[in-house]
Structure 1
Amino acid sequence: MSLSVHPRKVSKKPFPLEPLLPPPVPRSNYFHFQEEKQRLQINKFLLDRIFLVAKTTAGTEKKDITEYYEQVFQSIMKHHLKEAVTGLLLIYHTFILHILESSSGTLYRILLDYVNHDKNKEEFFIQGMKIIVVSHNIPTRVFMQWYVSVIKVPVIYLEDVTQSESLEEVITEFLTQIHKLALYFFKTVKVGSKGPGDNLHQAVPELLLPEEIIRYLHNSEEFIDPETFLNIYNKPMHVTLDSDVVWPAPSQF
């Protein structure tokens, strides 16, 4: 029995040529980078903390501020169920101090909502917000809930302090007092309770920052506003150089 061998057909189609230009490098920003980290974790997310100061317009009441933030939190929770917001909102006579703890994506959307309101033609009752400190990937929450307290103390103008001390010294005092106040909440306020309410200035007056310190930080040009922060946050992490888009690569003679 003989076997017939058929000659193998060779394709006459030319091999595809590789493109002359290098493949595009995927561009991303810090916000997408953080969200990708969160997607890689099951039911977990990186925890961030942010310190904010702002000025309130005349006639602004506690109800106006609390209802605004509660609506923002509820709107975000519809899409991020397990990323609860905790922290502390201190409402002074004309300024507020706000500490927020949550995922970077949630804090991003809280700042974005403020920026959208701030750009509105109608005057928003929270003005001139400044970001004092942002702490990424903190080990644990300090505040178990989101607490609100009105500080009912007379305004004391500490010109001798804010003019004699440097910004670094004021920031050190600011963070030290906030840390002590946070420890007080952590140790004494039970989960599920409403907290000290508007009697915080009576319970621990020695732990409260004077409003003049908040005013000083608000007026300092060294701190950026949320819009500037978000622009930096969304800026691509990779910079496209001329050599990435020019082909062939430039050479020296």
Structure 2
Amino acid sequence: MPFTHKWKAKKRAFPLEPLLLPQVPRGNYLHFKEEKQRLHLNKFLLHRMFLVAKIEGNVEKKDISEYYEQLFQSILKHHLEESVTGLLLIYPTSILHILESSNGTLFQILLDYLGHENDEKEFFIQEMKIIVISHNIPTRLFMQWHVSAIKVPVMYLDDVTQSQSLKEVITDFISQIHKLSLYLFKTIKVGTKGPGDNLHNVVPDLLLPEQIIKYLCKSEEFMDPATFINMYNRPIHITLDSEVVWPAPSRF
């Protein structure tokens, strides 16, 4: 009995917490499936790019839409599940293009344009400019890629590009496009053909005047695809202070 009493006293004298090993987190099959589904839905970061460009006056809507559709299909073979959504507005002599996809897909779209621009003297898309690129956007505004031709030019009383600064013009540009995108997001159902060619009758107040698109195409403040791609491919070199000091400091 005394021996048993001493053993119990020693057991109470030492706390058990320091002796416990850290617990290894263990998952289950449900957590594994949920993580796999999460990775499947987030295989790439989503970006949105706004483009403007001039087109030849006699080019058909079908030619432009078929060019982009074939390009998207070609890119999709190498960038699986990175589909392109957005909106292409075709004005009489210019286009406004919104594209949503991965960074690699958007990069390939710009490269294809440059290839045609360099190889074809009269490619029907000209003077393209990148207005805005939004990185890592949380969700898409468009569930599909839609094409709409603005057949009847909208009449405006004054040319805002003559009375407003570039900052004001681009602010109105982004605001107006955002309103139009939200309208289409709420009204167009998945699987439908899209807004059609009567936007100028349905929502004329949400359409940008073509003169603004032409103004942005001429503006030197925005990058053309060649400048953007050159900057994208240019390596970043950081020169440390120790590299320009002589004698070089010794490190221990």
**1:206 corresponding residue in structure 2:** 205
- Greater mean deviation of Cα atoms: 117-126 or 83-92: 117-126
**2:189 corresponding residue in structure 1:** 190
CA distance in 2 between counterparts of 1:121 and 1:231 reads: 20
The amino acid that maps onto 2:247 is S
Q: How far is 1:179 from its partner? A: 0.4
The structure with more helix, counted as a fraction of residues: 2
CA distance in 2 between counterparts of 1:125 and 1:135 reads: 27
Name the SS for the 1:185 alignment partner: helix
**1:32 corresponding residue in structure 2:** none
Equivalent pairs: percent with the same residue?
Answer: 70
RCO greater where, 1 or 2, for CA within 8 Å and sep 6 or more? 1
Aligned in 2, Cα 1:64/1:234: closer, same or farther, shift over 3 Å?
A: same
**1:26 corresponding residue in structure 2:** none
CA distance in 1 between counterparts of 2:180 and 2:159 reads: 24
Q: How far is 1:237 from its partner? A: 2.5
Equivalent residues of 1:158, 1:212 under 8 A apart: no
Encode CA deviations 1:111-151: one digit per residue, 9 max, x unaligned: 00000100014410000100000111011100110000001
Q: How far is 1:195 from its partner? A: 1.1
Q: How far is 1:241 from its partner? A: 7.1
Largest Rg, 1 or 2: 2
Q: How far is 1:47 from its partner? A: 0.4
Equivalent residues of 2:61, 2:149 under 8 A apart: yes
4+ residue segments displaced more than 6 Å: 240-244
Q: Is residue 75 of structure 1 aligned with residue 74 of structure 2?
A: yes
- Greater mean deviation of Cα atoms: 148-157 or 221-230: 148-157
Q: Could you tell me which of 227, 235, 251 is aligned with 2:247?
A: 251
**2:99 corresponding residue in structure 1:** 100
Q: How far is 1:153 from its partner? A: 2.3
Q: How far is 1:81 from its partner? A: 1.7
The amino acid that maps onto 2:103 is S
Q: Is residue 113 of structure 1 aligned with residue 112 of structure 2?
A: yes
Name the SS for the 2:197 alignment partner: helix
Q: How far is 1:200 from its partner? A: 1.3
Q: How far is 1:158 from its partner? A: 6.4
1:1-253 aligned within 5 A: 42=40, 44-154=43-153, 156=155, 160-239=159-238, 250-251=246-247
The amino acid that maps onto 1:251 is P
Aligned length: 210
TM-score between the two structures when normalised by the length of structure 2? 0.78
CA-atom RMSD in angstroms? 2.2
Name the SS for the 1:127 alignment partner: strand
CA distance in 1 between counterparts of 2:154 and 2:58 reads: 17
Name the SS for the 1:139 alignment partner: coil
Encode CA deviations 1:136-195: one digit per residue, 9 max, x unaligned: 101110011000000122264766411110001001110111000000111110001011
- Greater mean deviation of Cα atoms: 197-206 or 106-115: 197-206
CA distance in 1 between counterparts of 2:159 and 2:182 reads: 29
Encode CA deviations 1:66-113: one digit per residue, 9 max, x unaligned: 011011100000011210000000000100000000000000000000
TM-score between the two structures when normalised by the length of structure 1? 0.77
Unaligned stretches of 5+ residues in structure 1: 1-40
CA distance in 2 between counterparts of 1:154 and 1:145 reads: 25
CA distance in 2 between counterparts of 1:236 and 1:252 reads: 25
Unaligned stretches of 5+ residues in structure 2: 1-38
Equivalent residues of 2:88, 2:95 under 8 A apart: yes
- Greater mean deviation of Cα atoms: 105-114 or 50-59: 50-59
CA distance in 2 between counterparts of 1:154 and 1:199 reads: 11
